[in-house]
């Protein structure tokens, strides 16, 4: 699978741009601020229906303009797929596949598998559990549509339960029957989500370990652990047990919306005890394992976006990634960099076809 053509209008800082890409390696080069990352983000947007860097849709419209449009032509398994994503201020964002508008964005997820490696990935380590849950959900949902529906439905019921808890507190009242309905619904959705996440981590962790071993040459022992309240049992009794606490807090304090991934190195949390270099190696292994798993599940290599990796990683890690790029197992790759000579020197060594796109 690869992206053949891309057209942009009023996307972030880009007025209008069109590209015809190479099926293997594409390099976007230019000074900081010219829009290299925004082009990569537009490719991401076509895959997931939203920006990787700014999920608030309206903020992706170029300042002073009323709309943005992203138009991509892909080739996937000998078929052409045209995806157009557009947004007008004050209106709902639309995504079209081959001229037909999706009724639900979730129906699009998984059509165009994609993985991005970016300096922003450090948020997976330094930010809260919501960022890591989003990572899990993004990987699983690319090949499991019922899972994505369960997550959406769980969050809807969770919001309703939290509103009810606030209502109880404001009005000094309590309705056990209505609360029980929400508890039953949450428990059912949570069971499916928990099982999918548990199975994902069981499959993903060994792939991650293998990737990290190759990057670090086996010098460090790392761990990836799934943390969930549901390891203790079904959600319904946990909700009943935490009722007094939830009434006091006015929100639901237990459930799969509190799930997390534990990132460890040498038996300690990598956030506190990992050096900057160790954290970078961990994240690259995490993203390459994501690539491996999605490729296995989708049956095609995902598009790989490498954002600003030359400036943010040392030469040894860059060399490792580029060596992987030379593997025929990889499909189409996009690279952004500030130095055209450096980029071309590196991609020439891959023996793959490539195109350089200077931005100014």
Pairwise CA distance, residues 357 & 360, whole Å: 10
126, exposed or middle or buried, with CB in 10 Å at 0-12, 13-18, 19+?
Answer: exposed
- The fold of the 1-113+302-360 domain, in CATH, is Rossmann fold (3.40.50)
Hey, what CATH topology would domain 125-299 get? Glutathione S-transferase Yfyf (Class Pi); Chain A, domain 2 (1.20.1050)
Three-state secondary structure string covering the chain: CEEEEEEEEEECCEEEEEEECCCCEEEEECCCCCCHHHHHHHHHHHHHCCCCCCCCHHHHECCCCCEEEEEEEEEECCEEEEEEEEEECCCCCEEEECCEECCCHHHCCCCCCEEEECHHHHHHHHCCHHHHHHHHHHHHHCCCHHHHHHHHHHHHHHHHHHHHHHHHHHHCCCCHHHHHHHHHHHHHHHHHHHHHHHHHHHHHHHHHHHHHHHHHCCCCCEEEEEECHHHHCCHHHHHHHCHHHHHHHCCCCCCHHHCEEEEEECCEEHHHHCCHHHHHHHHHHHHHHHHHHHHHHHCCCCEEEEECHHHHCCHHHHHHHHHHHCCCCCCCEEEEECCHHHHHHHHHCCCCCEEEEECC
List, in sequence order, every residue forming a beta bridge with 262; answer none if it has no partner.
225
Tokens coding 193: 């989500």
Lowest mean pLDDT among 31-40, 64-73, 339-348: 339-348
**Could you give the count of Cα atoms lying within 13 Å of 135 in the half-sphere of its Cβ?**
27
Residue 182 pLDDT class (50, 70, 90 cuts): very high
Average pLDDT over residues 281-288: 92
Strand pairing class (333-337; 25-29): parallel
Over residues 162-170, the mean pLDDT reads 97
Distances (CA, A) of 344 to 25, 119, 332, 334: 10, 21, 16, 13
Count of Cβ atoms closer than 10 Å to residue 265 Cβ: 22
* Same fold? 1-113+302-360, 125-299: no
Sign of CA dihedral 113, 54, 282, 305: positive
Q: CA triplet 47, 48, 54: central angle to 5 degrees?
A: 120
Residue 109: pLDDT over 80: yes
Mean pLDDT of 216-230: 93
Specify the residue for token string 């039953």.
Answer: 184
Strand duo 2-11 + 14-20: pairing: antiparallel
- Report the alpha-carbon distance of residue 161 to residue 186 in Å, rounded: 9
- On whether the pTM is more than 0.85, the answer is yes
Sketch the domain layout of the chain as residue ranges.
1-113+302-360, 125-299
Choose between 62 and 103: higher pLDDT: 62
- Dump pLDDT digits (tens) for 300-342: 899 999 998 776 676 666 766 776 666 667 889 999 999 888 8
Residue 87 β-bridge partners: 68
Q: What would the two tokens of residue 56 be?
A: 């608030």
Q: Is the pLDDT of residue 212 over 80?
A: yes
Mean per-residue pLDDT over the chain, rounded: 93
The string of pLDDT tens digits covering residues 65-78 is 999 999 999 999 89
Q: Residues near 87 by Cβ (< 8 Å), separated by ≥ 6?
A: 57, 58, 60, 61, 67, 68, 93, 94
């Amino acid at each position: 699978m690869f992206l053949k053509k891309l057209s942009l209008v009023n996307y972030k800082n880009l007025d209008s741009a069109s590209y015809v890409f190479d099926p293997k390696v594409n390099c976007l080069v230019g000074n900081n601020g010219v829009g290299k990352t925004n082009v990569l983000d537009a490719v991401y947007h076509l895959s997931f229906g939203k920006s990787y860097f700014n999920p608030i849709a309206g903020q992706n419209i170029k300042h002073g303009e009323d709309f943005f449009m992203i138009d991509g032509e892909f080739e996937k398994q000998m078929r052409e797929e045209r995806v157009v994503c557009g947004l007008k201020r004050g209106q709902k964002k639309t995504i079209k596949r081959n001229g037909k508008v999706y009724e639900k964005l979730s129906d699009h997820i998984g059509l165009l598998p994609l993985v991005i490696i970016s300096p922003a990935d450090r948020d997976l380590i330094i930010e809260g559990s919501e960022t890591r849950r989003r990572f899990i959900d993004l990987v699983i949902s690319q090949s499991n549509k019922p899972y994505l529906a369960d997550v959406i439905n769980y969050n809807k019921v969770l919001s309703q339960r939290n509103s009810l808890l606030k209502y109880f507190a404001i009005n000094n009242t309590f309705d056990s029957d209505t609360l029980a309905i929400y508890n039953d619904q949450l428990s059912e959705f949570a069971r499916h989500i928990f099982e999918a996440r548990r199975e994902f981590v069981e499959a993903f962790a060994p792939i991650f370990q293998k990737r990290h071993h190759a990057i670090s040459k086996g010098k460090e022992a790392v761990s990836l652990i799934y943390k969930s309240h549901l390891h203790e049992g079904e959600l319904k009794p946990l909700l009943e047990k935490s009722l007094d606490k939830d009434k006091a807090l006015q929100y639901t304090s237990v459930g799969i919306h509190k799930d997390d991934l534990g990132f460890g190195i040498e038996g300690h949390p990598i956030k506190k005890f990992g050096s900057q270099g160790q954290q970078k190696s961990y994240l690259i292994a995490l993203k390459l394992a994501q690539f491996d798993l999605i490729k296995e599940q989708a049956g095609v290599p995902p598009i790989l976006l490498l954002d600003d990796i030359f400036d943010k990683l040392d030469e040894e890690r860059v060399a490792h990634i580029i060596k992987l790029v030379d593997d025929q197992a990889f499909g189409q790759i996009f690279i952004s960099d500030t130095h055209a000579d450096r980029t071309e020197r590196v991609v020439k060594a891959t023996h793959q076809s490539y195109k350089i796109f200077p931005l100014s």
